[in-house]
Structure 1
C-alpha cells in the first residue's frame, strides 16, 4: 500500500509546490513594481512582434519571388521560417531588451524578459530541430517534448518532475520499470535510431556510387548495414538506460515460436531475398519473364521484387516465387538476346534470293546488331509455302521485344513487295461430284 501512496503523495506535494509558486508569481504581477513592469514589457514586445510580422512576411515573399533556382531544402526552410517569423521577431526583440536592461539596471529587474526571450528561442530551435523527423505525428511529439523539457529546466522544475516520474514504477521482483526510465529509454533509442538512419543513408549512398560492386551486392550490403546499425542502436539504447534484457529471454522465445508459425511465408520471402542477393541470379535492371509477366527489375526488396512492364504496370512478385518458379532472365550473364521470326514464301520464289532479302531487311532495322549478323534458314516444306526462320541479335532487351519483332516483320514485308516475293496463305478448293445430292440440286434448281 505504501508503494502506491508514496508516489501519489509526492505528486500532490509537487502540485502544491507549483501552485504556491504560481500564486506567488501572480501576487507579484498584480502588485506594482518591476515584476509587473517586466510582464507589461513582454506583452508590449509581443504586440510589436505581431505588428511587424505581417510586413516582414511580405518582404520575405517578395525576396523569394525575385530569386530563381531554389533547392527543395531551401524552400522548406523558407516555409518554416515564414511560419515562425513572428516568434523569431519576439525572441530577437526580447533578447535585445534583456541585454540593454542588464547593463542599465539591476539584473533582477529583467529576469522575466530574459526568460521569455529564452523560451521563445527554445521554441524556435526545437521547431527547426524537429524537422529532421519526417513523420508528421512523431515530429509534433518531438517538438513539444523538447520544448516542455526546456521549459521545466528553465523554471527549475525538471528535478522535481523527474523525481516524481521515477517514483511511479512497476516492480516485479528485481525488475523495476519507472515512467522516467521508460521516457529516457524512448528518447535515447529515438536519438540513436535517428543517428543510425543518417549513418545508413550516408553508407548506402557511398555503396551505390561504387561501380566495382554489383547491383545485387549493393542492395545486400545496404540492407546488412541498415540492419546492423538499427540493431546496435536499439541494443545500446536499452543498455544505456539500465534495462536488463535477460528477464525477457523466455518471453521473447515464446513470442518467437508463435511468430514463426504465423509468419512462415514472410520468413520464406525474407530468406529467398537474401539468397537472390547472394547468388546474383536476379539484380536490379535485369529483364525477366515469369509466367505471363515480362518486364525489368526495378527494385529488390526484403519481401518482394518490383517488376515494371512495358505498359507501365508494376508487379510486386514475392521473392519465394523467384526462387521456386521458372524465371527467364534475358540479361543474366550478358545483355545479348537472340530473337527468332518464322515466315513462309511461295514455292515459285527462289529460296536463295529469299534468304538474302530477309538477312538484308533485318540488318537494316535499328537495334539489330551488325557484328552478330542475322541468319536465315529453311526449316521445312509446308503445305502451301517454304518455311524459313530468321534469327537476329539485340543488346537492349529493356527496350522491348514485341516492337523490334514488329519492325523486322515490316522490313520483310517491304523487301518482299519490292522484289515480288509472295507470302502464300492456305487456300481450299471445293469439288462437287456428279452423283452427289448437292450437284443434283444445283442442276434442278431445288432449294
Structure 2
C-alpha cells in the first residue's frame, strides 16, 4: 500500500514537473517514456516464449474455440426465448439483442474465469497470470459494451467504446501512468490556458457518459409521463421538454466539473450570448417563447386537427421551435410556433372532436319537400362515418331558386383526421342513389337556342 502511494506521488510529481519544464525537456521526457513503454512491451512478448506462458496461450485459444461453438448452439434458442417476451420495454429488447450478438464473448468470460479459479486452486498463481489478464480484459470489454450502449448517437458511441477499450486495456496491462504522461505532454498553450490530449480525452469521455446518463433518465421519465392519463398531452410535452433541459444542463455542468474546467469563464461568455440572442436570434427566441405559451395555454395539442391558411392536417408533434403538421396527402409541414400565436388558426378538435359539415343541393318544384328531406337524412345516416347519436343529420329548405328548391344537409363526424372531402363525396353519392331510386329529379339550367335567317322579321315580332 505504501509502495502504491509512493508510485502515485512520484507520477504526480513527474506530471507537475513536465508541465513547468521547458519544451526541450518535455520532448526528452516524452521520448524516455515512449522507450520505457517499448521495453515493457518487448519484455512481455519475450515472456510468452516461456513454457507455462505458452500453455496459457494454448488454453486461451481452446477456450475461445469452445466459446464460439457454444454460442453457435445457444444463439437460436436464446433468440426464440427473446421473441416470446412480449411485455418488455424497448430498451430491454435492445440490450438482449446486443447480448445475442456478443454471446460468444459472454460465454468466453464465464469459461475463462472458471479456468482461472480452478488453476489458482490447484497450481501456482504465476501459472495462470496470462489467463487472469485475458479474463480481466474480456470482462472489461463486455462491461464497456453494456455501459456505452446507453449512448444513442452511433458516432459518439463508437468513439466512447473504442476509447474505453483502449484505456482499460492499457490500465490492465499496467501502462496507464506512462500513457497518461505521454498524452499530457501532447499539449498546446493558448495564453494562460494549457490544453493537452489527456484533458481533451477526459472531457470527451466524461461529457459523453454524463449526456448518455441524462438521455437515459430523460427517456424513461418521458415514457412514464406519457403513460400518465391524468396529464393532458400539451402538459406532457411541456414536462418532457423541461425535464430534458434540466437533465442535459446538469450533465453538462457535472461533466465539466469532473474534468476540472473553470465554470467562472462561462459567466463572461454569457454576456456575448445575450448580445447574440438580442440581435441575431430574435426569431429563434420568439419561436421558443411562443412554444412555451402554446404548451401553457393548451390551445393546440398533439392529435388536434387544425387549418392554417392553405394547410389542413393534424398535429404530429410539438417542438421547441416548430409544430409538425401532417396533411392527408402525407406531407409534413413544419410551422414556426410564432405563426400559430400571431395567425388565425382553426382548431377543428379544440374542445371536442365533433365536426359539422354542410352540403347544398336542389330538387325540382314537382318533388315533395317532405319526402326530399327524409330521403336526404336517411342517405346521410347510411354513410359509415356520419354520426347518428348524439348529433344527428338534419335537412332544411334554404330558398326557392329560379329552377329548384334549395336545401342544406348538415351532419356531424368525430374523426376529422380521416378527411373532410372524402366524407362529403360519400354523402353526395348516397344522395344521388337515394334520389335515383325514388324518382327525385335534380334540375339544372337549360337554354333554348334559335337560329334566325337574315331578313326574317317574324321572330322579332313574335
Coarse TM-score class (shorter-chain normalised)? 0.7 to 0.9
Tell me if the contact between 1:288 and 1:296 (Cα under 8 Å) persists in the aligned partners: yes
Q: How does 1:317-396 map to 2 (within 5 A)?
A: 317-366=335-384, 367-396=386-415
CA displacement at 1:93 relative to structure 2? 4.5
Task: State yes or no: 1:420 paired with 2:435.
Answer: no
Aligned residue in 2 for 1:186: 204
| Secondary structure of the structure 1 residue equivalent to 2:149 | helix
**In structure 2, do the counterparts of structure 1 residues 69 and 436 end up closer, same or farther at CA, with 3 Å as the change threshold?**
farther
Aligned residue in 2 for 1:219: 237
| Secondary structure of the structure 2 residue equivalent to 1:123 | helix
| Secondary structure of the structure 2 residue equivalent to 1:132 | coil
Aligned residue in 1 for 2:34: 15
Aligned residue in 2 for 1:429: 448
CA displacement at 1:176 relative to structure 2? 4.5
Counterpart Cα distance in 1 of 2:112 and 2:374: 90
Q: How does 1:21-40 map to 2 (within 5 A)?
A: 21-30=40-49, 36-40=50-54
Counterpart Cα distance in 1 of 2:457 and 2:167: 104
TM-score normalized with structure 1 length: 0.85
Q: How does 1:26-425 map to 2 (within 5 A)?
A: 26-30=45-49, 36-64=50-78, 68-69=83-84, 80-81=98-99, 83-171=101-189, 175-254=193-272, 257-258=275-276, 261-366=279-384, 367-425=386-444
Instruction: Structure 2 unaligned segments of length 5 or more: list them.
Output: 1-19
**In structure 2, do the counterparts of structure 1 residues 22 and 148 end up closer, same or farther at CA, with 3 Å as the change threshold?**
same
Render the CA deviation track for 1:372-406: whole Å, top value 9, x for unaligned.
33332222222221211122222222232223222
TM-score normalized with structure 2 length: 0.83
CA displacement at 1:343 relative to structure 2? 0.6
Tell me if the contact between 1:341 and 1:391 (Cα under 8 Å) persists in the aligned partners: yes
| Secondary structure of the structure 2 residue equivalent to 1:141 | helix
Counterpart Cα distance in 2 of 1:439 and 1:318: 71
| Secondary structure of the structure 2 residue equivalent to 1:338 | strand
Of residues 204-213 and 250-259 in structure 1, the stretch that sits farther from structure 2 once superposed is 250-259
| Secondary structure of the structure 1 residue equivalent to 2:344 | coil
**In structure 2, do the counterparts of structure 1 residues 223 and 438 end up closer, same or farther at CA, with 3 Å as the change threshold?**
farther
| Secondary structure of the structure 1 residue equivalent to 2:399 | strand
Of residues 89-98 and 310-319 in structure 1, the stretch that sits farther from structure 2 once superposed is 89-98
| Secondary structure of the structure 2 residue equivalent to 1:296 | strand
How many positions carry a matched residue from both structures?
Answer: 435
CA displacement at 1:223 relative to structure 2? 0.6
Counterpart Cα distance in 2 of 1:373 and 1:100: 82
Counterpart Cα distance in 2 of 1:241 and 1:24: 34
Counterpart Cα distance in 2 of 1:320 and 1:309: 20
Render the CA deviation track for 1:243-274: whole Å, top value 9, x for unaligned.
11333444453355346644444333333322
Counterpart Cα distance in 2 of 1:438 and 1:253: 94
Q: Report the aligned-residue RMSD.
A: 3.1
Aligned residue in 1 for 2:17: none
| Secondary structure of the structure 2 residue equivalent to 1:359 | helix
**In structure 2, do the counterparts of structure 1 residues 412 and 100 end up closer, same or farther at CA, with 3 Å as the change threshold?**
closer
Counterpart Cα distance in 1 of 2:167 and 2:213: 21
Render the CA deviation track for 1:248-303: whole Å, top value 9, x for unaligned.
44445335534664444433333332222122111111111223322211211222
Counterpart Cα distance in 1 of 2:247 and 2:68: 46
Counterpart Cα distance in 2 of 1:342 and 1:231: 58
Aligned residue in 1 for 2:16: none
